[in-house]
Amino acid sequence: MERIWFRLRTGGEDIGPLYDPALGKDHDYDDLDPALAEQDFATYAEECRLADATAARLSFDDPVTAGGDTFSLRFVYVHMIAEYSRHNGHADLLRERIDGVTGR
């Protein structure tokens, strides 16, 4: 998401997809290899670094166009926070099913 929202949409970079779209929409989720986990994390960390560099050149009120709509960079940040919250919640539910430990 950092690549799409920050680099492509916000920064207007001319970059292609990270994964081959010919392999299917969810191929990057479905074809996982634990042996590549370190490499995958390094790819993610690099995308975050590049997204940060793109956002650092802009102000929160700069316009971002996506799908015919215009948003501010501030909206993009709020959207990303919501996405991370949602997905971290999903991961926590999975973890609870594995270890049985629940929070308060």
Give the start-to-end residue ranges of the domains of the chain: 2-99
Confidence of residue 92 (pLDDT cuts 50, 70, 90): confident
6-44: pLDDT as tens digits? 999 999 999 998 888 899 888 877 778 889 999 999 999
Q: Please check the confidence at residue 103 and state whether its pLDDT lies above 80.
A: no
As beta bridge partners, residue 72 has 63
Q: What is the pLDDT of residue 25?
A: 83
Q: What is the pTM of this model?
A: 0.78
Expressed in angstroms, the distance from the first to the final Cα of the chain is 30
Contacts of 1 (CB under 8 A, 6+ apart): 80, 83
**104 has pLDDT over 80:** no
d(CA 32, CA 62): 37
The mean per-residue pLDDT over the stretch 31-60 comes to 93
Determine phi and psi for 64, rounding to 5 degrees: -130, 125
Confidence check: pLDDT of 85 > 70: yes
